[in-house]
Structure 1
Amino acid sequence: MQPSFKTLIILTLISVALLAPFAFSASYFPLLRDQAFDFHEFLRGDLYKQVTGYISLAFVLVEMVLTLRKRGRRLRPVKVSVPGTVKFWRRLHVFFGVVLLGVILIHTGGAVGQNFNGIFLWVFFGVTLSALVGVVAETGVLESAQQRFSLVPIGSDGAFSKALTGIPKSKLIQGMRGLWLSTHILFVSAFFILLGFHIFLVYNFQ
């Protein structure tokens, strides 16, 4: 239902690289201001913030659509068929989540911000990391279990192979999914509340 474990590890490393500037922004932003003042002001300018903000919002909306699509084969109550398998849309949801992290890096310039903006950004980090860590852990356990099954001899009639494919997910997988998915949904709910406040503040105090 999601990318392979190796692919997810690569996405995790990319995410860590995208998060690194936020950890060092307090050091490099003053240096950027002293060495390249015009570029520093451009990154903090209204035009740059508006353009990258709209792009970020577009990616958030795409993620919302992908979430709705991967919940079922049809959008209800409209009853409109959407092409593509659930597996495809779930993979796309994971990839776009990492891309959104890069877009937010461009929008903020790597600055964590203070007060409301800082809280808003940390909640977004929670949205991204709760999903990525959860999917990586779940996929790792699933793939390791499948490898153990593949080592078991299979009869010529293939009956044992069919039996294995019908084995339900272990309680470990169900527990992991319940934990990370609940945490992810909690962060997503908080994120959309803060997003509404963020848009309100931007248009009323710009």
Structure 2
Amino acid sequence: MPASSTPAAPFTPLDLQLVLLRRMADHNPELVADARRELGASLTDMREANKRWQAMVRSPRGRSAAARYRSVLGPPESTAARRVGDLDCEARRWPLPLWPELRFEVLAGPGGQVWNEWLVRAPGAPAPALRTVDDLAPWSCTVDEAARAFAPARPLEGTAPTRWGLAFTAPDAEDVRHEVVAEFTWGLLQRTRIDGA
């Protein structure tokens, strides 16, 4: 059978983890390289997983985003009704081996529409102690955890659909006139910088 006729291998939870890592590699290539090795995947594997994921997302005949996650990750570990503003949705969470203390959460609306997809702390897993900017190490916390620790934090628009930012004043900032900006990918902290310094 010609290679072009061979059905593609199923997209797996390992592949999805590589997709998450691919976007994180822009900020933390060393952490991503270590995680990729832990998964037993090559740089080529990561690029190929990302390429296949993008093709699935952009396919006009593709499944809804919510159905796509279920097909890749299986039934969610947990589901919960959630209200976001005036809208009702369902929070679906799955474990990912690379981050056992976190869960991949998808907020799904009616008709399988996905409103948000990111990593959150697993129920019962201890949250990190976040008191100073020095506590904000890459991959140490999620968006929600940083927002609570450094309230009032102001959300910032990300540079890509899977990126978010928070701006806040931390007690140990060198100059209180400057804000700390924390950047997140897939909900996980990637880096911080002092804005305007």
Of structures 1 and 2, the one with the larger relative CO (CA 8 A, separation 6+) is 1
The TM-score with structure 2 as length reference comes to: 0.23
Larger % of strand: which? 2
**Structure with the greater alpha carbon radius of gyration:** 1
